[in-house]
Structure 1
C-alpha cells in the first residue's frame, strides 16, 4: 500500500513537470510580438502558380502581387484574392526562385545564381523587351533568396547551398549593385550557431529559401522551407529570433515580402493535398 502511494505521488509529480515544460514551450512559441504566425489571411493561387516561389511588390504597394514559379520563365501579376492572373514570359523553362523590383527593373534569380533583368514598364506585355541574363555575377552555388533595397539600390542574395559554406556553421550572402552590369558591393554571413542557440532545428545545416527586410524595423527576415524556420536578424546580420513554422499553416514556404505598412506575406508551394498560396500576416504594432 505504502509503495503504491509513493508511485502515485511520483507519477503525479512527473505529470505536473511535463505540463510545466509544455506550458513553457508553448509560451516561447507565442512570444513573437510583431505577427501572429498562426492566424494568416490565406490567398489560394490559381493552377498556374501551384509551384509559386518568390513574391514581391512594386514600391511596397500590395494592390498587385508579382510572383514567379520555379518551372516557367514567367513573371505573374495578380490582385490580392483575385485568381485571374496575367504574366509576361521573360525566359525559357528553368528553376527560378525569387523576384525583386529595384530601380524600376525586374530582377529574377535562377537557382544557379544567374540573374534575369528587364524594365518594369515591360511587365505588362506578353514578352518583355530588354531582357538581360547576368551569368557571371555570383559564385557557383545554389541560391533561392533575394531582396532588392529601393533606398540604397542594392540587391542582396543569400546562398542556400554554396561550396564555400559549411551550412552547419555559416551561410554566405552577396550584395550587388545593378547598372549596365552587376557589380559586387559587399558580402555578409549568418552565424548558424546563433540560430542553434535559439532553435534546435538547424542541426543538419541552415538552408535559406527567401529573404526580405522589414520596412518598419529594418530587421532581416529569412525563411527556410527545409528547416521550416523563420530567422530574424538585425541590420548587422546578428540573429535575434528564430521561430518554427507549423506544418499545419505552412506547407513549403518559398517566398517572403512586406508591404510598405509592414504587413508580411509568405508564399507556399502546393502539394497533393493543397493549392499554392500566399499567407498575409498583419503587423500587430
Structure 2
C-alpha cells in the first residue's frame, strides 16, 4: 500500500508539472513570445524518413503535394489525407535539388547550381526529362522556384550572391516558350529597405541587410510574393509590384529550417521544414492579414 501511495503521488506530481509547463507555454501573459507570433499553425504532417531532407513543395491537386529532397532526383507525391507517399518520379541522378514547381503537365526542379530540370508529363509513365543550365552557379546558390503561368514563365531568386548587385536579391524569369532567362531581374528584393532593420538597430551600422531566400510562392488571389528564408527563419511578403509589405519572424520551435512553400488555389498556405534535429514536416499556416 505504501508503494502504491508513493507511485500515486509521483504520478500526480508529474502531471501537475506538465500542466504548469503547458499553462506557461500557452498563456501569453507568461510566455510573451506568443503575443509576438503573427501566424497560426493549423495542421501538421510529419514526413517519412525518405523526405527528411525535404527542400521544396508544390501543391498539385486536392490533398496532394509534390515534394523533392535535396539529395535524390525524385519527385515524391505526398497525400495529405492518407499521410503517405503515393508515387515517386525518378527524373535524375543524385544532386542538390532545392526548388520545385509545376506548370500545366510539366514539373520543374532547380538545382543549387542553377541547372533547371523540365520533367514533361511528369505524372505519366512515359515522362521525359530535359535540363537547362541557367546563367547562375553554385556561388549564387539557387533554392527558389515558382510558376507564373499567366505569363508562361518560371520565377526564381538567388539565395546568396546576386550576379548584378549586392544591394538586392533579384527575382528572375525563365520563359517557358523560348527556354531562356532574362539577364536582368523583373523585380528586386531591396536589402536596404527599412523592413529588414530591427527597431533597436544602430542607425550608423551598415544599412544593407542579409536575407537568404530558400523558396517563394505567389498568392493565387492577391498576386503577392511570399519569400521564405530558412537560414534565419522569416517570411517576407511583397506586393505584385515588389513593394515590401511585411516581414514575419518564424520561431524555430515550429520552423527549425523552413525550405519550401506553396499555395493551394483557394489560398491555403503550406510550409515545409527539413528534419533539423527532428522529423521533417509540412505545416498548414495562416498569417495575420494586416497586409
TM-score range, shorter chain: 0.7 to 0.9
Q: Is the counterpart of residue 276 in structure 1 residue 280 in structure 2?
A: yes
Find the counterpart in structure 1 of residue 254 from structure 2: 249
Q: d(CA) in 2 for partners of 1:200 and 1:72?
A: 43
Find the counterpart in structure 1 of residue 171 from structure 2: 173
Find the counterpart in structure 1 of residue 136 from structure 2: 139
Residue 122 of structure 1: how far off its partner (Å): 3.4
Find the counterpart in structure 1 of residue 111 from structure 2: 110
RMSD: 2.7
1:282–1:241 CA distance, 2 compared to 1 (3 A): closer
The 8 Å contact of residues 113 and 142 in structure 1, kept in 2 or not, is answered as yes
Residue 284 of structure 1: how far off its partner (Å): 7.7
Instruction: Specify which of 209, 216, 219 is matched with residue 211 of structure 1.
Output: 216
Structure 2: gaps of 5 or more residues = 1-30, 202-206
Find the counterpart in structure 1 of residue 151 from structure 2: 152
Residue 186 of structure 1: how far off its partner (Å): 5.7
Superposed counterparts of 1:56-71, under 5 Å: 56-58=58-60, 61-71=61-71
Map Cα deviations across residues 38-60 of structure 1 (whole Å, 9 max, x no partner): 433101111111110110123xx
Q: d(CA) in 1 for partners of 2:155 and 2:200?
A: 26
Residue 70 of structure 1: how far off its partner (Å): 0.2
Map Cα deviations across residues 68-123 of structure 1 (whole Å, 9 max, x no partner): 0000000000210433212111001000001110132111000011100022x333
Q: Is the counterpart of residue 51 in structure 1 residue 49 in structure 2?
A: no
Map Cα deviations across residues 1-39 of structure 1 (whole Å, 9 max, x no partner): xxxxxxxxxxxxxxxxxxxxx97x976x35x5xxxx243
Instruction: Specify which of 248, 251, 258 is matched with residue 263 of structure 2.
Output: 258
Aligned with 1:90: secondary structure? Answer: strand
Find the counterpart in structure 2 of residue 11 from structure 1: none
Map Cα deviations across residues 215-266 of structure 1 (whole Å, 9 max, x no partner): 1221100000012110000111111100100111111000000001101000
Aligned with 2:159: secondary structure? Answer: strand
Aligned with 1:151: secondary structure? Answer: helix
1:62–1:98 CA distance, 2 compared to 1 (3 A): farther
The 8 Å contact of residues 75 and 123 in structure 1, kept in 2 or not, is answered as no
Find the counterpart in structure 2 of residue 99 from structure 1: 100
1:197–1:163 CA distance, 2 compared to 1 (3 A): closer
The 8 Å contact of residues 100 and 107 in structure 1, kept in 2 or not, is answered as yes
Q: d(CA) in 2 for partners of 1:199 and 1:108?
A: 38
1:62–1:283 CA distance, 2 compared to 1 (3 A): farther
How many residues are matched? 250
Query: TM-score normalized by structure 1?
Result: 0.79
The 8 Å contact of residues 103 and 153 in structure 1, kept in 2 or not, is answered as no
Q: d(CA) in 2 for partners of 1:266 and 1:214?
A: 13
1:200–1:279 CA distance, 2 compared to 1 (3 A): farther
Find the counterpart in structure 1 of residue 15 from structure 2: none
Map Cα deviations across residues 106-152 of structure 1 (whole Å, 9 max, x no partner): 11000011100022x33353xx53200101x2333211011101222
1:163–1:225 CA distance, 2 compared to 1 (3 A): same
The 8 Å contact of residues 99 and 106 in structure 1, kept in 2 or not, is answered as yes
